[in-house]
């Protein structure tokens, strides 16, 4: 699906249908959703009935995932959990699929805890970012998490495995299941893909031990209450926390110079992103006081080319004082084509003001894992 088709699809499922032709397109999408739902029920039913078996690994297994397509903040949450476990003395390893990396169909060690061993084109952008940002945490990529989990335990001595995007992965026994719900698009327009954004029905949240409502600071309190009420209806047993993506640093791509996030206050800037949730990125910039003149959006995991970055800089030379992107985008931008105006905003998962520290959740994670 190219960028224009993706934009059209997003508009249709969000309620932007007009006219008979759009109605027919929605009907076609609904038919595809019905077929997808039937296949999904068969898949999940096989595990529920014991017809398909899950592997138990000799390590604590914590899954971070969601029920919708798009960016709910899984990578940021995965990094937070892995860091907390490492700080508590666990030998943590992140298991990532390595989406769009050339090693996706292998089992490849991206990091042994001292930085990336391969380039982002091999590892995938998210595993590469995790490897750069988390010293002391190993990273292994591959579509088969049973294989990568065994590798992490046997070769790296891991005793805690964090599955990035693991909610739909059924082939491993998971000790703790954490589901993320994005406050900006919580229930995927209440339709399965491709008619909506749901990868599973919202009722699947009942599998979760904990549910974290991400980007909770970017919506109204009334919307947040409604989200919580729906979650409690689906999963009354789950621990529910409201989180935010807190800006912690700006880093210049050209020389790794750092500034506090407040440095963008009052600055005219261009936002640049190729991520699953560009709306959250722009709102975060505006929340810390940036004047976003334009938001240049590319599809998620977009492989930036030097030419398009140079063209972007040339076209916007007089329009903005800074170009700010995300850390996930930054690892895909060719270093040779940036100048001193290009910065990446680093964020960390954090609790809402006044709430107990989110890092305290690790104690619960360890207790829950021990009881599994």
Q: Got the DSSP string for 262-310?
A: GGGTT-EEEEEE-SS-HHHHHHHHHHTT-EEEEEEE--TT----HHHHH
Q: Residue 16 gets which letter from DSSP?
A: -
CATH class for the domain made up of 245-349: alpha beta
The shares of helix, strand and coil residues in the chain, as percent rounded to the nearest 5, are: 40, 25, 35
Q: Where are the domains of the chain?
A: 3-48, 60-243+353-371, 245-349
Q: Dihedral through CA 321, CA 291, CA 294, CA 285, nearest 10?
A: 100
3-class DSSP state of 246: strand
pLDDT tens digits, residue range 131-157?
A: 999 999 999 999 999 999 999 999 999
Q: How many CB atoms lie within 10 A of CB 326?
A: 24
d(CA 187, CA 193): 12
**pLDDT at site 4:** 64
**pLDDT at site 2:** 60
Same CATH fold assignment for domains 60-243+353-371 and 245-349? yes
**pLDDT at site 293:** 94
pTM above 0.85, yes or no: yes
Give the residues of the chain that fall short of pLDDT 70. 1-5, 17, 317, 372
Q: How many CB atoms lie within 10 A of CB 218?
A: 20
**pLDDT at site 39:** 96
Tokens 């297994």, located at residue: 61
- Note whether 204 and 198 are within 8 A (CB): no
Architecture of domain 60-243+353-371: 3-Layer(aba) Sandwich (3.40)
């Amino acid at each position: 699906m190219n960028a224009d088709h993706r934009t059209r699809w997003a508009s249709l499922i969000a309620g932007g249908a007009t006219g008979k032709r759009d109605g027919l397109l929605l009907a076609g999408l609904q038919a595809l959703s019905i077929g997808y739902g039937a296949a999904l029920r068969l898949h999940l039913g096989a595990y529920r009935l014991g017809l398909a078996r899950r592997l138990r690994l000799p390590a604590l297994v914590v899954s971070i995932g969601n029920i919708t397509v798009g960016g709910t903040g899984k990578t940021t949450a995965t990094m937070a959990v892995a860091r907390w476990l490492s700080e508590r003395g666990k030998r943590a390893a992140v298991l990532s699929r390595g989406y769009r990396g050339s090693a996706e169909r292998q089992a490849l060690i991206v990091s042994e805890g001292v930085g990336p061993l391969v380039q982002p084109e091999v590892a995938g952008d998210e595993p590469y970012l995790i490897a750069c940002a988390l010293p002391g945490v190993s990273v292994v990529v591959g579509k088969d998490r049973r294989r990568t989990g065994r590798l992490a335990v046997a070769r790296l001595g891991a005793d805690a495995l964090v599955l990035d995007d693991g909610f739909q992965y059924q082939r491993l026994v998971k000790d703790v299941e954490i589901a993320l719900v994005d406050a900006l698009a919580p229930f995927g327009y209440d339709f399965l893909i491709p008619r909506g954004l749901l990868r599973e029905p919202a009722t699947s949240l009942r599998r979760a031990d904990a549910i974290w409502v991400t980007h909770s600071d970017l919506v109204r309190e009334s919307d947040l209450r409604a989200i919580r009420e729906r979650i409690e209806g689906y999963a009354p047993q789950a621990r529910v926390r409201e989180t935010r993506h807190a800006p912690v640093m700006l880093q210049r791509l050209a020389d790794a110079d750092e500034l506090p996030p407040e440095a963008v206050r009052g600055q005219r800037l261009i936002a640049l992103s190729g991520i699953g949730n560009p709306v959250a990125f722009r709102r975060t910039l505006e929340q810390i006081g940036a004047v976003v003149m334009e938001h240049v959006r590319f599809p998620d995991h977009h492989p930036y080319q030097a030419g398009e970055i140079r063209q972007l800089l040339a076209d916007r030379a007089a329009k903005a004082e800074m170009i700010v992107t995300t850390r996930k985008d930054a690892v895909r931008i060719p270093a040779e084509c940036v100048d001193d105006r290009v910065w990446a905003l680093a964020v960390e998962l954090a609790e809402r003001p006044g709430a107990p520290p989110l890092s305290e959740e690790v104690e619960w994670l360890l207790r829950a894992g021990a009881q599994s």
